[in-house]
Amino acid sequence: MKIALIGYGKMGRELERAAQKRGHSVAARIDPTLELGATTEISLRTIGAADVCLEFTHPEAATANIEQVVRLGKPLVVGTTGWYRHLPEVEKWVSQWKTGLVYAPNFSLGVNLFYRVAAGAARLFHRFDEYDVCGAETHHRLKADSPSGTARQLANVVLEHFPRKKRLVVDSLNRPIEPEEFHLVSLRAGSFPGTHSLFFDSAADTLELTHTARSRAGFASGALLAAEWIVGKQGVYTFENVLEDLLGGML
């Protein structure tokens, strides 16, 4: 497969490494900071040879990039976050130009499988009243948001599959927790690349499920999996749809 990298920053470079390992080649790198032939131009000339494009740039750039790629009829994987309010327009363009697009706030294969494992575990433990559930996440000191988007998604999974929990609480409580509150704490320090844990706890024991990210490689392999999947398909999909298709009813 020939890929076009739209955005050649940290993720663009990680995608290039991962793509080469999977036997794909890079047909174009589009980024304003590239030296020699630097361009942000998305045209038939620059991406015409690509089978699929991967967009990892900036929230302000993503929607215009998506429009240009889609108008050229190329399938696209979008990792950039922060443009989702434009989703209705994007859906129209994708349908009008008859191409395919996959987007996700987190393309890590491990995290997305973790959501599925967490859903299954929540359904099981919910059946036994002696078990309670809570969560924790740890990230580097520069992370802007808290809890992380991934932690919020994990909380949604718990609220859906462990119905005794009806509300997410993320603050310091300074009071006993209500049984229907799902407590999720965030820790910030140092360089942690990102850890998310769920604890199912009873008087007798604790089951801990933890996903620990080591690098950006997990995002790249998930995004490439999505890129391989979207070629030849039409419509707008999330990474969850991709996994649903690949895994069927598993878990």
Ligand X SMILES: NC(=O)c1ccc[n+]([C@@H]2O[C@H](COP(=O)([O-])OP(=O)(O)OC[C@H]3O[C@@H](n4cnc5c(N)ncnc54)[C@H](OP(=O)(O)O)[C@@H]3O)[C@@H](O)[C@H]2O)c1
Binding site for ligand X (CB under 6 A): 6-12, 30-33, 40, 56-59, 61, 65, 79-81, 104-107, 219
Secondary element (H or E) of residue 243: helix 239-247
Q: What is the DSSP letter of 31?
A: B
**Residues carrying an active site annotation:** 139, 143
Q: Name the residue number minimizing CB distance to ligand X.
A: 9
The residue type of 241 is: N
Q: Contacts from 62-65 at CB under 8 Å and sequence distance 24+? A: 63/89, 63/90, 65/6
Between 30 and 155, name the residue whose CB sits nearer to ligand X: 30
Q: How far is the CB of 26 from ligand X (least distance, A)?
A: 14
Between 80 and 153, name the residue whose CB sits nearer to ligand X: 80
Q: How far is the CB of 142 from ligand X (least distance, A)?
A: 12
Between 13 and 164, name the residue whose CB sits nearer to ligand X: 13
Q: How far is the CB of 240 from ligand X (least distance, A)?
A: 13
Give the C-alpha separation, 7 to 9, whole Å: 6
State whether residue 75 is helix, strand or coil: coil
Q: How far is the CB of 133 from ligand X (least distance, A)?
A: 26
**Contact at 8 Å (CB) between 161 and 126?**
yes
Between 77 and 122, name the residue whose CB sits nearer to ligand X: 77
Q: In what order do the strands lie in the sheet containing 195-201?
A: 167-169, 181-188, 132-139, 195-201, 206-212
